[in-house]
Structure 1
Amino acid sequence: MGKLGFKGILKRKSGKVKDQKVVDVKKDRKKSEKKKGEVPIKDERVLVKKGYARKGDLIATVHPAVLGKEGKNILGEPIPPKEVYQPKLIAGKNVKVEDGTKYFLTTDGIVEVLKDSRGVFYIKGKIYRHGSYKITVSDDEMKAYLTVIPPIGGGRSLNADEIIEDCKKRGIVFGLKEKLIRETVAKAEENREAIRDVVIAEGEEPIDGEDGKLEFKIRLATGNRFKVLNNGKVDFKEQDLITAVEEDELIAVVKKPRSGQRDGHTVLGEKIEAKPGQQVTLEAGKNIRVEDKGDEIHFYAEISGQLIRERNSISIDPLYVIDSDVGAKTGNIGFKGAVLVKGNVNDGFKVQAMGNITIQGNVGKAIVQSKENVIVNNGFAGKHNGLIYAGKDVTIKFAENGTIKAGGNIFISRAALNCKLIAGDRVISVKEKGQIIGGMVKARRGLEAKIIGNELEHKMDIFIGLDYLTEEKLTEIKGKIAKYVQNLKKVELVIGKIKKINENSGMLSESLKKIYTDARKKKALLKIAIDNLKKKEEKCLQSLSQEEGAEIIVHESIYPGVKIYFGDKLYEIDSKKNNVKIVFDTNNQKVRVMPL
């Protein structure tokens, strides 16, 4: 016999299901045709089962009947099998049938089973759902979320007060948004739509302290051994290996850490302590001055030199030592302290320093510049392009075909050949051979040497009695003034032309207006620059007075071919003279040659 089983249907809490009669009038077109004048048959259906089920639940199973087999009695007569009950279950709304025997509900709701007078069963689902909610807390316990699903088909409504109370029971006590909970419940029921993952409570992040910070206020060397030029070429002479600083320069600032400003809380009310800022340590080494400014610590250079960084400390070395030649390996040297080169300075390279420069080898067609003193233990072969400049004194063994300038004295122990020597004080060559041959000498207070010129009567010009470095500077200033004046005239010409266009047409295009504005600005800047240069020119002129007492001292010999200028007074050596002093007698306005 077939069976009909109902599963997964929960009885209603109200108790026993009362029988209900349901009348359904239908036309059965497949089994019978309605005869003319026949009255429709009333098919009464009775509710036999009712309860709740969830979407996807198996709510009924049909077990088909198994037909019996024909038997026989002792006389051999056939005995037909008994008729079996073949159950019939018809799926209605919201019910899905699989394999013809299994019935599943396609929505949450109420399942109703009815039976008609013919013994046929009908099963259907009605959408019916109580309102529900879900509360979740994030893993870090900093947020609580609420999902609300409104009731359907007359199910039980949600209660915002119950949800709020449930939150508190779960320990959600910090940052709970009760008003938002009420609004969310009301909105879900009004719109009959679920609202998911609404943030109903938020914790408070702590405000941690700020870590201390180290800020260098100077440009630090990159360590690059080359410089990429604007045209894309690489210049290996310009290397960035030294971090140079000046006396009293602010090198670095350490900002002190700050303590935590506010503790935080999770939605469960647990305190999150604010973290204090971490300390940054910078130790002051040699030649570093430290000043505490309250929230900051300032580090200053006590001397000019090279900044040395070792782990968490800084110091300043006043001497930069190059153990090799200055060349392709080192690149050009620029330093704000003193420099010691243990090798040579090769052709085409530069050594520039604020402090003393000492070169233990030779200097080629290079540039060596110091605001203090320059000492070259060997020689200088300038090849007509090399330059040695010192703000104070230059001391060198020998020099040829180069230019040496010094704000103070130039000391040459052995010889100088075809050089341009310009000294703010004196040129002195009295040690070893002590000979100066050819070229040009300019010295404010004079020249002292063992030998000046040679027997071949090598041509040589000597200028004494004026500040020739200032004279050079004055020449440079005059050149700049002339250039700026020329540019000013060009700018004024442009301004004049645009004014004339405006007078004739009564209007200017936007491009001409811009040109006019830019020209006026340039004119103002040029005038300022010219005024400043003229002030410098006047200052230089005031220091160009004739130096009284300028002299040339010859400890051995001076030869013909040498011309001596005392200001604008010329004296030519016409014959070899030994052990003499040559001076300008201002009283008689003539040159005097006196024995030593």
Structure 2
Amino acid sequence: MGKLKLRSLTKKKEPEKVVTLTRAERAKEKASIEKELVKKGYARKADLIARVIHAVCSKDGKNVFGEKIPAKKMYEPRLIAGSNVKVERGTDYYMNCDGVVEVLKDERGIYYIQGRLFRFGRIRVSVTGDEMEAYLTLIPSVGEADPVSSEQVISECERQGIVFGLDRDAIRSVVERAEKEGVESKDVLIARGEEPVNGSDGLLEFKVRFASGTPFKLLENGRVDYSEQDRITNVNEGELFAVVKKAQTGVKDGHTVKGELIKSIKGREVELEVGSNITVEDKGHALYYSSMIGGQLVINGKSVSVEPRLKIEGDVGPTTGNIRFDGNVLIKGNIKDNFHVVAKKSITVEGNVGSCVVKSGENLLVKNGVVGKNKAYLFAKGNLSVKFAENAVLVALGNIHIQRAALNCKMTSGERVVSKTEKGQIIGGEIRAKKGVEVKTLGNESEHKMDVFVGLDFFVENRLRELRSTKTKYENGMKKLLLILDKFNKIEGDPENLPEKLKKVYVETRKKRALLGLAIQNLKKKELELMGQLEERWEAEVLVHESLFRGVRIYYGGVFYEPDMTKTRVKIYYDKNYEKIKLEKFIAR
């Protein structure tokens, strides 16, 4: 006997022959036939909703007497697919949409199965792991099902404890779109928590440029200069080198979408430990770090300090490059040719100095010698002391001390030049010393030519020379400006009516003439002051402990003395009363 099975879901199988109605049956189906609903249920698209099992052919039987027993007539179920139902293999009936399945039966015993579009709307509200956002997914209702309402969504949010930052307009927009357009919305943001506003972290801001550590300087022509290196970070005395802005407290607390409080956090403070030679000023919102001395700024981990002395263990050369330092410099080795050392405080060189430039803001000490090769230049704002020097320029605002000998050097001192030790000897070159010279031997038996100037401020003389050079440059510039203005004056009419471009040149030239005229006047005034200072004579004397040789000429202002023969143990000075140079025996004390 055949069977009719109604199912809600099953897997698809291979298609078989589909049972169809005859033409007469279809015509009769179209006529008004009363049908009764025998079963109703809900299925989704592609669900197996029914299966027809066909009857197996019957066979007559026999009793014990051999008499025929006719087989019963078999029942063959008839199931007709209606709307939204798809038949496969002639036996399996599948739903073509989400909705209601209805099974009907007429008076002939024929069954009808049809699908009617129907789907309840579904909502899903999900909250992120940090509970800072909530998202809505809405599948709209279909057919006669009631649409999803905003109240249902809000109710679901309340059920999940979402009470903060709910965006009702976003919910309303999703619901209206589902109702009017039937469009599914997926993961729409409907609630957002409020992040706390934490305090900003402290900030360390350096006010100086740090050395890059580059061991060379790339020149414009593409060549590399290893004498210019960037290895030392200098700071001046009293210089502000860092500002530490303090961390701020939390500004505003936050909330999750479930209303939980998120406390704001104070920012992290900058940890900067104060080392030696540093002052710190607290100005409330920030700490100001300044250097107590000129020196090298050193940062070691979280500690900062200023080192007053830079120590070079070996030579100053290609390995170190030129040295520029705001404190004291100690060089354990030599300063090689063509390198520079400049310090704002004292410089000590334990080795030799070659043909290079050395400038000290205080005292300069070379424990060995200076081999200048006519290129060395040594300058000290304080005293300058060397063991020996040859073919070099030595300049000091204080005294210049030569322990052994100086050969063919140009020396300028704001005080005295002294070389009176056992081997103290100065030969050749030039000496300019405001307050005189004290030396063991001046000149040599070969009557080496040399000039000694004393009694004047030779630094004033140098400044006067530089000032006059500048004044000459300005005066030449003034002549050029006057020539341009003279050409404008030869133009007929008022210069003010000139074309705009020429008028601009005219106005700028007059302005430059006025400014340059003021500058020249100031230079002339300063020139007179320096000339007055230069006329001042200082008490100065030349003391020779042993020998003064021929070839040495000693100047006091406009007069000079030159010995006609070797003199021993003499004192040479200028007698203002007689306005001449005098020489007398000198007895060392």
TM range (shorter): 0.7 to 0.9
Per the normalisation by structure 2, the TM-score is: 0.83
Structure 1 residue 5 and structure 2 residue 5: aligned? yes
Post-superposition offset of 1:263: 2.1
Q: Could you say what secondary structure the match of 2:462 adopts?
A: helix
Structure 1 residue 257 and structure 2 residue 244: aligned? no
Q: Name 1:21's counterpart in structure 2.
A: none
Structure 1 residue 399 and structure 2 residue 389: aligned? yes
Q: Name 2:353's counterpart in structure 1.
A: 363
Q: Name 1:324's counterpart in structure 2.
A: 314
Amino acid at match of 1:8: S
Q: Could you say what secondary structure the match of 1:386 adopts?
A: strand
Q: C-alpha separation between the residues in 1 aligned to 2:45 and 2:422? A: 115
Q: C-alpha separation between the residues in 2 aligned to 1:79 and 1:489? A: 148
Structure 1 residue 475 and structure 2 residue 465: aligned? yes
Q: Is 2:207–2:243's contact at 8 Å kept on the other side of the alignment?
A: yes
Q: Name 1:350's counterpart in structure 2.
A: 340
In structure 2, relative to structure 1, the CA distance for the partners of 1:584 and 1:31 (3 Å cut) is same
Q: Is 2:82–2:115's contact at 8 Å kept on the other side of the alignment?
A: no
Structure 1 residue 147 and structure 2 residue 98: aligned? no
Paired residue for 1:556, among 534, 546, 570? 546
Paired residue for 2:456, among 455, 466, 477? 466
Post-superposition offset of 1:491: 7.7
Post-superposition offset of 1:342: 1.2
In structure 2, relative to structure 1, the CA distance for the partners of 1:52 and 1:222 (3 Å cut) is farther
The runs of 5 or more residues in structure 2 that have no matched partner are 10-19
Q: Name 1:60's counterpart in structure 2.
A: 49
Q: C-alpha separation between the residues in 1 aligned to 2:523 and 2:61? A: 142
1:21-420 alignment, distance < 5 Å: 42=31, 44=33, 46=35, 48=37, 51=40, 53-63=42-52, 65=54, 67-68=56-57, 85=76, 87=78, 89-90=80-81, 92-93=83-84, 95-98=85-88, 101-113=91-103, 123-420=113-410
Amino acid at match of 1:5: K
Amino acid at match of 1:300: S
Q: C-alpha separation between the residues in 2 aligned to 1:353 and 1:39? A: 119
Per the normalisation by structure 1, the TM-score is: 0.82
Amino acid at match of 2:204: L
Note the alpha carbon deviations across 1:209-231, whole angstroms, 9 max, x for none. 23233333222233333333344
Post-superposition offset of 1:155: 1.8
Q: Which moved more, 1:75-84 or 1:299-308?
A: 75-84
In structure 2, relative to structure 1, the CA distance for the partners of 1:173 and 1:338 (3 Å cut) is same
Amino acid at match of 2:315: D
Amino acid at match of 2:389: A
Q: C-alpha separation between the residues in 1 aligned to 2:300 and 2:499? A: 67
Q: Is 1:68–1:82's contact at 8 Å kept on the other side of the alignment?
A: no
Q: Which moved more, 1:348-357 or 1:491-500?
A: 491-500
Q: Is 2:456–2:538's contact at 8 Å kept on the other side of the alignment?
A: no
In structure 2, relative to structure 1, the CA distance for the partners of 1:184 and 1:41 (3 Å cut) is closer
Q: Is 2:250–2:264's contact at 8 Å kept on the other side of the alignment?
A: yes
Q: C-alpha separation between the residues in 2 aligned to 1:39 and 1:235? A: 109
Q: Name 1:14's counterpart in structure 2.
A: none
Note the alpha carbon deviations across 1:350-372, whole angstroms, 9 max, x for none. 21111111111111112111110
Q: Is 2:7–2:51's contact at 8 Å kept on the other side of the alignment?
A: no
Paired residue for 1:453, among 425, 440, 443? 443
RMSD (Å) for aligned C-alpha atoms: 4.1
In structure 2, relative to structure 1, the CA distance for the partners of 1:232 and 1:241 (3 Å cut) is same
Structure 1 residue 422 and structure 2 residue 412: aligned? yes
Post-superposition offset of 1:526: 7.1
Q: Is 1:51–1:111's contact at 8 Å kept on the other side of the alignment?
A: yes
In structure 2, relative to structure 1, the CA distance for the partners of 1:445 and 1:67 (3 Å cut) is same
Q: Is 2:332–2:351's contact at 8 Å kept on the other side of the alignment?
A: yes
Post-superposition offset of 1:412: 0.6
Structure 1 residue 432 and structure 2 residue 392: aligned? no
The runs of 5 or more residues in structure 1 that have no matched partner are 10-27
Amino acid at match of 1:42: A
In structure 2, relative to structure 1, the CA distance for the partners of 1:101 and 1:447 (3 Å cut) is farther
Amino acid at match of 1:555: H
Note the alpha carbon deviations across 1:281-338, whole angstroms, 9 max, x for none. 2222222222222222222222222233333222222222112111222222211111
Post-superposition offset of 1:527: 7.6
In structure 2, relative to structure 1, the CA distance for the partners of 1:129 and 1:83 (3 Å cut) is closer
Q: C-alpha separation between the residues in 2 aligned to 1:543 and 1:453? A: 31
Amino acid at match of 2:372: G
Post-superposition offset of 1:506: 6.8
In structure 2, relative to structure 1, the CA distance for the partners of 1:561 and 1:65 (3 Å cut) is same
In structure 2, relative to structure 1, the CA distance for the partners of 1:346 and 1:578 (3 Å cut) is same
In structure 2, relative to structure 1, the CA distance for the partners of 1:530 and 1:173 (3 Å cut) is farther
Q: Is 2:327–2:343's contact at 8 Å kept on the other side of the alignment?
A: yes
Q: C-alpha separation between the residues in 2 aligned to 1:525 and 1:144? A: 74
Note the alpha carbon deviations across 1:149-183, whole angstroms, 9 max, x for none. 44332321223233323322211112223454345
Q: C-alpha separation between the residues in 1 aligned to 2:44 and 2:220? A: 74
Q: C-alpha separation between the residues in 1 aligned to 2:558 and 2:23? A: 145
Post-superposition offset of 1:582: 2.3
Structure 1 residue 590 and structure 2 residue 580: aligned? yes
Paired residue for 2:434, among 444, 450, 453? 444
Aligned residues: 571
Q: C-alpha separation between the residues in 2 aligned to 1:439 and 1:507? A: 62
Q: Is 1:47–1:112's contact at 8 Å kept on the other side of the alignment?
A: no
Question: % of aligned pairs identical?
Answer: 44
Q: C-alpha separation between the residues in 1 aligned to 2:252 and 2:232? A: 45
Post-superposition offset of 1:592: 2.6
Amino acid at match of 2:303: S
Q: Is 1:237–1:328's contact at 8 Å kept on the other side of the alignment?
A: yes
Q: C-alpha separation between the residues in 1 aligned to 2:310 and 2:457? A: 32
In structure 2, relative to structure 1, the CA distance for the partners of 1:175 and 1:383 (3 Å cut) is same
Q: Which moved more, 1:236-245 or 1:403-412?
A: 236-245
Post-superposition offset of 1:348: 1.5
Q: Could you say what secondary structure the match of 1:286 adopts?
A: coil
Amino acid at match of 1:220: F
Q: Is 1:91–1:103's contact at 8 Å kept on the other side of the alignment?
A: no
Post-superposition offset of 1:403: 0.8
Post-superposition offset of 1:461: 1.9
In structure 2, relative to structure 1, the CA distance for the partners of 1:277 and 1:504 (3 Å cut) is closer
Q: Is 2:496–2:503's contact at 8 Å kept on the other side of the alignment?
A: no
Q: C-alpha separation between the residues in 2 aligned to 1:102 and 1:530? A: 115
Q: C-alpha separation between the residues in 1 aligned to 2:190 and 2:482? A: 74
In structure 2, relative to structure 1, the CA distance for the partners of 1:539 and 1:303 (3 Å cut) is farther
